[in-house]
Amino acid sequence: MKHVKLNPDEWLHYPALARETYYRMTSEGILLAAQAADGRLNAMTIGWGLFGLVWGRPLFQVLVRPSRYTYQCIERTSDYTVCVLPPELTEVATYCGTMSGRDVDKLSEKDLTILPSTHITSGGIAQANIVFECKVVHYNEVQAPAFPVEIVTNYYPDGDWHRIYFGEILGVSVSKEFFDSLP
Ligand SMILES: Cc1cc2nc3c(=O)[nH]c(=O)nc-3n(C[C@H](O)[C@H](O)[C@H](O)COP(=O)(O)O)c2cc1C
């Protein structure tokens, strides 16, 4: 799939990219990818994330539990891509959200290929409609005392506290097909 590369100043002019990203986040359609120590790209599904402006920079925040293989990968590279899949690849997201890169090579199992990044080490998923290249500029851990009790009970019964990564969006790739459909 061919992609059009946009820089951070350009992509903010396309609100439809934000709309599609939020829509796919609610419908099991986003992969978080980072390069593993063996050079392979690993991808896991995410259902939570935020993007906007902080410190005068466009950021895509993601929440990753330390138990994920992806956590290890991001700790190593200090970067990641957020990849918005087309609806026909929802089954791929289900797979990447239940299998671990410790046990399988998810990209080769699902015939996914790498879209090389321009600004960071970790590549994106070539089959995605939108790929955000993000460089970690900050991170912190969520903390029990700062939560209402029900969130701790529902989401952290065994600890495994998310680390929140603040990734500066350095570039965005949009599939040619999706780009041509933008208003
Ligand atoms: C819809 C969906 C959303 C998910 N969102 C997150 C998330 O935001 N953060 C997280 O740490 N895990 C999330 N997960 C779980 C990981 O995707 C899952 O544990 C995955 O197998 C981890 O793969 P890895 O070990 O290769 O990193 C989600 C799973 C699904 C199915």
Number of domains into which the chain is organized = 1
Question: Angle CA(91)–CA(95)–CA(100) in degrees, nearest 5?
Answer: 165
- Quick: pLDDT tens for 64-88: 999 999 999 999 999 999 999 999 9
Which two structure tokens, joined as six digits, stand for 173?
Answer: 């790739």
Greatest pairwise CA separation for the chain in angstroms: 47
Model pLDDT, residue 48: 96
Tell me how far apart the alpha carbons of residues 100 and 105 are, in angstroms, rounded to a whole number. Answer: 8
pLDDT-derived band at 150 (thresholds 50, 70, 90) equals very high
pLDDT-derived band at 9 (thresholds 50, 70, 90) equals confident
pTM of the predicted model over 0.95: yes
Q: What is the number of the ligand 1 atom nearest to the C-alpha of 46? A: 5
Sorted by sequence, the CB contacts under 8 Å of residue 40 that are 6+ apart come out as 101, 105, 107
Averaged pLDDT for residues 130-158: 96
pLDDT-derived band at 12 (thresholds 50, 70, 90) equals confident
Residue 117: pLDDT over 80: yes
Rounded distance from Cα 182 to ligand 1 centre (Å)? 29
With tokens 């990753």, the residue in question is 64
C-beta of residue 59 within 8 angstroms of C-beta of residue 161:
no
Averaged pLDDT for residues 119-130: 98
Q: Where are the alpha helices (DSSP H) in the chain?
A: 8-11, 15-25, 69-77, 90-96, 106-109, 149-155, 176-181
3-state secondary structure of 135: strand
pLDDT-derived band at 8 (thresholds 50, 70, 90) equals confident
Rounded distance from Cα 13 to ligand 1 centre (Å)? 30
Amino acid at 127: Q
Q: Which residues line ligand 1 (CB under 6 A)?
A: 28, 42, 44-48, 63-65, 68-70, 97-102
Nearest residue (by CA) to ligand 1, atom 6, is 46
C-beta of residue 34 within 8 angstroms of C-beta of residue 74:
yes
Rounded distance from Cα 9 to ligand 1 centre (Å)? 30
3-state secondary structure of 172: strand
C-beta of residue 162 within 8 angstroms of C-beta of residue 65:
yes
For the chain, what is the mean pLDDT? 96
With tokens 């701790």, the residue in question is 152
Question: Angle CA(74)–CA(79)–CA(81) in degrees, nearest 5?
Answer: 100
Model pLDDT, residue 180: 94
- Quick: pLDDT tens for 162-171: 999 999 999 9
Rounded distance from Cα 64 to ligand 1 centre (Å)? 8
Q: What is the number of the ligand 1 atom nearest to the C-alpha of 45? A: 17
CATH number of the CATH domain containing 46: 2.30.110.10
Averaged pLDDT for residues 91-103: 97
Range of the domain at 153: 3-181
Q: Is 115 exposed, middle or buried (0-12, 13-18, 19+ CB in 10 A)?
A: buried
Model pLDDT, residue 13: 85
Averaged pLDDT for residues 89-104: 97
Model pLDDT, residue 104: 98
